[in-house]
Amino acid sequence: MVPVKPWLYVLMLWLVSWPLLATQIESNRLSADSTSKTGLQYLYYLNTTDDVSLDDILADPAYSHSFQPVNGDKRILISDHQPVWFKVRLRNTTKQAATWLMEYNFPMVDKLEVYQVDRASNNIELLNRTGNDYPFSERALPYRGYVTALNFEPEQEFDLYLRVEDAAIIPGDITLWQSEAFISVQQGNAIFDGVLSGILLMLALHSFILFYQLRQRQRLYQGLFFGCFAMVLAILNGLAFPLFWPDNPAINLAVLYIFAGLSLLCLNLFIRARLEQPLSFFWHKVHLFNNLLTLSLLFSPLLIDGEWRFWLLLGTIIVVLGTNILLTLHYAIAGQKSARSLALACFFLLMSAAILTMAQLGYFKQLLEWHYLTLLLILLCMTVIHFSLDHIHSELTTDHQTMLELTKYKTLFHQAAEGLFVGNAEGKLLDANLALLQILGYQQISELRQDVGGHGMTRFYANPNDRQDFIAQLHKFGQQQAEIRGLRADRSPFWALLSARLVPATATEPAFIHGSVIDISKQKLAYEQLSYQANHDAVTGLYNRHFILQQLTRSLYQGSKRNSSLLFIDIAQFNDINNRLGHSAGDSLLKQLGQQLAQNLAPADMLARLEKDQFALLSPGKNANEALVIAYRLVDQVKQFKFNWQQQQLTISINIGIRVIDNSRQDSNSFLIQAAAAAASAREKGQNRIHLYTEPMATS
């Protein structure tokens, strides 16, 4: 005989005793001594698939034996579009008929069905079908939560089955109320929620008014945060559904995630703007990551669904508030007073959000109405955030007239047409107006501060030495003005008129610099165009007579130790070509010949067209022998030059007169006349001739 192993005895014993080990359903007894509000001591749950009905549960003992008690650690059940069944047995121990209200206090649930099963007859009655997937008008009782009336006969006992379906979580929080107590509490809650929402909306309105008056971005972020946060609370407590979209239940949950994302985004932007200091590379990346995270939460109704969206909401709250607590603590330790209140507000806001979430999900109910305390704490935190700026402003001065003057100055400063700035003596930017941001190509002053903090003011100078010279003159004379070639944010150049004044340090205030920047690029371009036209020949693009005489005068004035040479160039065939072929041919000849003469000249040489067929070349630092070398080279170039015009090819010849610029104390015009006389002498000798002017020589 084969011996039976001990574990087989254990298995057989478990199979025989399994029906006896099934969950025993206990009754919740309701008596005349029961309080006006009572929780369910015995509550059981079962996870099933979508196709399981109540008839299936009642018909199959396996389902009935599978119900598990809802304990403290099972109060929150995770769901992914799979229904959860709750079972509760109620017994009226009195000999009188009684009516109780059963509340399922989770306004965000998708679907809720309440069935009453008579234990004696096993009859099933559908008492209520409601949830976020149904219009508000279909609720059995018109309250923000889900309420079902339970009518008891004397000493009656029956079972209640609740079928709950949601995309993320299903709290097991069910409460029984007496009618009078429930109505009284609901009225108090409505008043409390209305007052809280009203205060938040008043704070939002106050912030918008201050933004309109002061044009401070942090005020705009404040107002948007308060408004969005008021909407989040209204959705969570079920107030928004019947007021704003009672016939559109599909958008109720989506609007919650949208306004939660907007609230956290505005809070993140507000704290960044309120700090008003350039962030380090790490904290700047954290700030950008928080913005992306809140935007993903905002658009989550379009991207993800179900449980993942719920965890995204909780994760975003923790990450955004947690990182901002660390950020504000960092600046508070560094000595910024306003950061201390921000850090404290963010910390309590995070704790309040956690307690509020747990209270909404059914925790803390047995101890205290935690959500009321939490909402008051949130309101306190919002007030601290809102009035932190006003507290800082009040520390500046208590004189109302001074505040008005300061506001007037700031308005003039930020609305000025020219770019204005204020900085300290070490080169740190303290403030700048909108006009300066537009000139330099920035959208926000925070971007400008960050760029200055990373690269310094020298970053805006095309020539870094200009910055050093300007600051040196500013410290020497107290004020300075100069035209500089600057660089915008995208490194594109521009011309600016920079004016600055240094205010010395006092016993209470450090030294600072204030000034203005005016974009003169258009004026500079117009001046350069006029200067070009005044100094250049319109036909050839070479210098003109005015410019060559001006440069000659400058050379005489400077009194260079080395002589210069002036070459006067005369074209022999110009009049014949101009008269025979027309002015167009004459202009073309001048252009082509000018290009030919300009070849192989030294960088310092200046070639000009004087008038008609006359050219001049001023060659600084060249003596007579060097000037003759240049003249012979020009003659050789012209000999090789062929003038092409309408399939004709013509040869050109020139004559050159040379006048060495010496210390004979003559004016520039006299030297030019003498060079022309030398060219005339060369022409009398034939074509492509060169003549050097000597004293005395006729100038006729």
pLDDT in tens, 314-373: 888 889 888 888 888 887 787 776 677 777 677 767 777 766 666 555 555 544 455 556
Of the two residues 23 and 305, the one the predictor is more confident about is 305
Q: What is the pLDDT, as a whole number, of residue 233?
A: 80
The boundaries of the domain holding residue 106 are 24-177
Q: What is the pLDDT, as a whole number, of residue 388?
A: 58
Examine residue 447 and state whether it is found in any structural domain, yes or no: yes
Examine residue 326 and state whether it is found in any structural domain, yes or no: yes
Measured distance CA(627)–CA(678) in Å, rounded:
13
Q: What is the mean pLDDT of residues 590-607?
A: 86
Examine residue 390 and state whether it is found in any structural domain, yes or no: yes
Domain edge (last residue) among 396, 424, 444: 396
Least confident piece of the model among 53-67, 149-163, 441-455, 486-500: 441-455
Of the two residues 385 and 212, the one the predictor is more confident about is 212
Examine residue 182 and state whether it is found in any structural domain, yes or no: no
Q: What is the mean pLDDT of residues 27-56?
A: 84
> Is 268 in the same domain as 348?
yes
Measured distance CA(144)–CA(55) in Å, rounded:
30
Q: What is the pLDDT, as a whole number, of residue 19?
A: 42
Least confident piece of the model among 8-22, 112-126, 168-182, 405-419: 8-22
> Is 68 in the same domain as 149?
yes
pLDDT digits (tens, 9 = 90+) for 557-578: 766 556 788 999 988 888 888 7
> Is 62 in the same domain as 154?
yes
> Is 254 in the same domain as 382?
yes
Q: Does residue 659 register a pLDDT over 50?
A: yes
Could you tell me where the beta strands, DSSP code E, fall in 413-552? 419-424, 429-432, 479-487, 493-503, 512-519
Which residues partner with 83 through β-bridges? none
Examine residue 183 and state whether it is found in any structural domain, yes or no: no
Q: Does residue 439 register a pLDDT over 80?
A: yes
Domain of residue 86, CATH code: 2.60.40.2380
Domain of residue 630, CATH code: 3.30.70.270
Q: Which residues of 362-371 are buried (b: 16+ CB within 10 A; e: fewer)?
A: bbebeeeebb
> Is 169 in the same domain as 51?
yes
Residue length of the chain: 700
> Is 684 in the same domain as 556?
yes
Examine residue 217 and state whether it is found in any structural domain, yes or no: yes
> Is 624 in the same domain as 611?
yes
Q: 191: exposed, middle or buried (C-beta count within 10 Å: 0-12, 13-18, 19+)? A: exposed
Q: Does residue 446 register a pLDDT over 80?
A: yes
Domain of residue 419, CATH code: 3.30.450.20
Identify the DSSP state of 461. B
* Half-sphere exposure (Cβ direction) of 34: Cα atoms closer than 13 Å: 24
Domain edge (last residue) among 177, 192, 224: 177
pLDDT digits (tens, 9 = 90+) for 378-421: 666 666 666 655 544 444 334 445 555 666 667 767 777 788 88
Q: 451: exposed, middle or buried (C-beta count within 10 Å: 0-12, 13-18, 19+)? A: middle
> Is 205 in the same domain as 161?
no
> Is 406 in the same domain as 363?
no
Examine residue 12 and state whether it is found in any structural domain, yes or no: no
> Is 433 in the same domain as 573?
no
Examine residue 607 and state whether it is found in any structural domain, yes or no: yes
Q: What residues contact 598, with CB distance under 8 A and at least 6 apart?
A: 542, 607
> Is 449 in the same domain as 365?
no
> Is 365 in the same domain as 466?
no
Which residues partner with 649 through β-bridges? 644
Domain edge (last residue) among 525, 553, 573: 525
Q: Could you give the number of structural domains in the chain?
A: 4
Model pTM greater than 0.75? no
Query: Distance of CA 488 to CAs 172, 295, 492, 520, 632, Å?
Result: 62, 31, 5, 14, 50
